[in-house]
Amino acid sequence: MLSVSDAEGIIFNLVQPLNSQQDTELVDLLFAGESLAALRADRILASEVTSQLDFPHWDNSAMDGYAVRYEDVQDCSDQKPAVLEIVEEIPAGVQPKSTIQSGQAARIFTGAVMPAGADTVVMQEKTRREENRVIIFTAPKLQEFVRKRGMYYRAGTQLVPAGIPLKASEIAVLTAVQCTQLKVFRRPRVAIFSTGDELVTPDKPLQPGQIVDSNQYALFTLIRHSGAEPIMLGIVKDKPEALKEAIAYAIAHADVVISSGGVSVGYYDYVEQILESLGGEIHVRAVATKPGKPLTVATFKNDPRPILYFGLPGNPVAALVTFWRFVQPAIKKLSGLAHGWEPVFIKAVTRQELCSGGKRETYVWGQLYVKNGVYEFQPAGGLQNSGNLINLAQTNGLAVLPVGTTLIPAGEEVQVLQVGS
């Protein structure tokens, strides 16, 4: 049985990210009809975007005021104000007509293009207007309130690197530079199926001995929220032929395959044998976690990158815990994210005592929240049992009790793995 850190090292090393040349698609930036989908935050940029233009595109005013020649106003004061003739009014979006000569000024507004000849803007609060003249009482600094062309960035500057998820801030930048088509990574395809003769879909009346296949729906949601495209293959019977057929189909159609159930040591547990008969190489058979010990990880040779197979435990909480701890970071890494795919642990104060057998790394599920600026953790009430998924609702954190720790008293600090969608 592997330790969590050994298993994590093996799994994350097996992942080769999507290829930034082949595994991409072009999406529209524009807010129009279906292309709105392109603006979903979790698309990941496959190639860097550099600016085609200087920004600002031209010298413009950062204030409402008067565009002047610095030399005309540099010595002015309350006692010796400068008096300038207003030769033009320049609203934003208009090309100025005049060239400002000595003794002249232009009325100008925020964002408007600076007229030729002027190099400085005096804010209107520092002036008094008298018909077509402006009286200036305070000397500005040279080039004050002028946003010079290219002062924020020049054509050719990198604006957004590859591997970055496109959130509102990136979209704002890309829109400003008119980058209307974006090359993003395609979404990884993740096939999922459940194994077990006792499983039924949630719409069927339950016969004695049957239970609902909740794992497949939970995994479907998690995969979508991880930025991937789930392919639901349904419930597969505990029969070697049926399992073999499902796995063969899945590895032919997906980048990642996730099954749940059938990996514990039991009579009907065929999955590992079948993986090997299909040419799979098994890297992980069990990990010292609670819940979640029976985790199988295998790869199938495939060009340009191997297909990853995750056989999760059937118990509903164990399936989710192993997904959050190992599978979700792997999918995020695969999807082309340059950073931020790793699991995130947050130090929090536990509101209640946390217990563990001490032999395996134990995850206690519950709620992580901020109170008075400090992270706190409240374990889910009721039984913490890998078969009891009812108290999973609203879980957004897994408190971690390392091997050898049997108790963390209330009020003490604990590392909490951030989980959820």
- Give the binding site for ligand AMP (CB under 6 A): 194, 196, 198-199, 211, 213-216, 260-264, 266, 313-316, 387
As measured in angstroms, the least distance from the Cβ of 392 to ligand AMP is 12
β-sheet bridge partners, residue 347: 415
The residue with its CB nearest to ligand AMP is 314
**Nearer Cβ to ligand AMP (149/237):** 237
As measured in angstroms, the least distance from the Cβ of 196 to Mg ion is 4
**Nearer Cβ to Mg ion (65/261):** 261
Angstrom distances, CA of residue 351 to CA of 369, 378, 379, 417: 11, 5, 8, 16
Specify the stretch interacting with Mg ion by CB under 5 A; choose among 17-25, 36-44, 204-212, 314-322.
314-322
**Nearer Cβ to ligand AMP (134/199):** 199
Residue 13 class from Cβ within 10 Å (0-12 exposed, 13-18 middle, 19+ buried)? Answer: exposed
β-sheet bridge partners, residue 128: 135
Cα torsion angle, 111, 116, 117, 119, sign: positive
**Nearer Cβ to Mg ion (263/414):** 263
Q: Residue 175 binds which entry of Mg ion, ligand AMP, none, with Cβ cut-offs from 5 to 8 Å by kind?
A: none
**Nearer Cβ to Mg ion (216/356):** 216
CA dihedral 402, 403, 404, 409 (to 10 degrees): 30
Nearest to 307 by CA among 14, 20, 10, 23: 14
As measured in angstroms, the least distance from the Cβ of 212 to ligand AMP is 7
As measured in angstroms, the least distance from the Cβ of 373 to Mg ion is 46
Q: Residue 379 binds which entry of ligand AMP, Mg ion, none, with Cβ cut-offs from 5 to 8 Å by kind?
A: none
Per CB under 5 A, 379 contacts Mg ion: no
Q: Residue 259 binds which entry of Mg ion, ligand AMP, none, with Cβ cut-offs from 5 to 8 Å by kind?
A: none
Per CB under 5 A, 261 contacts Mg ion: yes
As measured in angstroms, the least distance from the Cβ of 208 to Mg ion is 17
Q: Residue 366 binds which entry of Mg ion, ligand AMP, none, with Cβ cut-offs from 5 to 8 Å by kind?
A: none
How many residues touch Mg ion under the rule CB under 5 A: the total is: 4
- The two tokens of residue 280 are 């799979």
As measured in angstroms, the least distance from the Cβ of 317 to ligand AMP is 10
CA distance 237 to 341: 34
Quick check: 26 and 180 in contact, CB under 8 A? no
As measured in angstroms, the least distance from the Cβ of 246 to Mg ion is 14
- Please state the length of the chain: 421
> Which residues fall within 8 angstroms of residue 322, CB to CB, at 6 or more apart?
287, 289, 292, 295, 310, 312, 313
As measured in angstroms, the least distance from the Cβ of 230 to ligand AMP is 14
- Tell me the per-residue interface mask from 179 to 198 with Mg ion, x by CB under 5 A, - otherwise: -----------------x--
Q: Residue 115 binds which entry of ligand AMP, Mg ion, none, with Cβ cut-offs from 5 to 8 Å by kind?
A: none
First to last CA, the chain: 29
> Which residues fall within 8 angstroms of residue 346, CB to CB, at 6 or more apart?
368, 375, 397, 415, 416, 418
CA distance 106 to 129: 12
CA distance 321 to 327: 9
Q: Residue 138 binds which entry of Mg ion, ligand AMP, none, with Cβ cut-offs from 5 to 8 Å by kind?
A: none
Chain position carrying tokens 């002036």: 127
Q: Residue 230 binds which entry of Mg ion, ligand AMP, none, with Cβ cut-offs from 5 to 8 Å by kind?
A: none
**Nearer Cβ to ligand AMP (280/316):** 316
As measured in angstroms, the least distance from the Cβ of 162 to ligand AMP is 37
Cα torsion angle, 308, 313, 319, 321, sign: negative
Q: What angle do CA 373, 378, 382 make, to 5 degrees?
A: 165
Per CB under 5 A, 294 contacts Mg ion: no
- The two tokens of residue 281 are 């190489």
**Nearer Cβ to ligand AMP (219/364):** 219
Specify the stretch interacting with Mg ion by CB under 5 A; choose among 35-43, 84-92, 95-103, 261-269.
261-269
As measured in angstroms, the least distance from the Cβ of 286 to ligand AMP is 12
Residues at the interface with Mg ion (CB under 5 A): 196, 261-262, 314
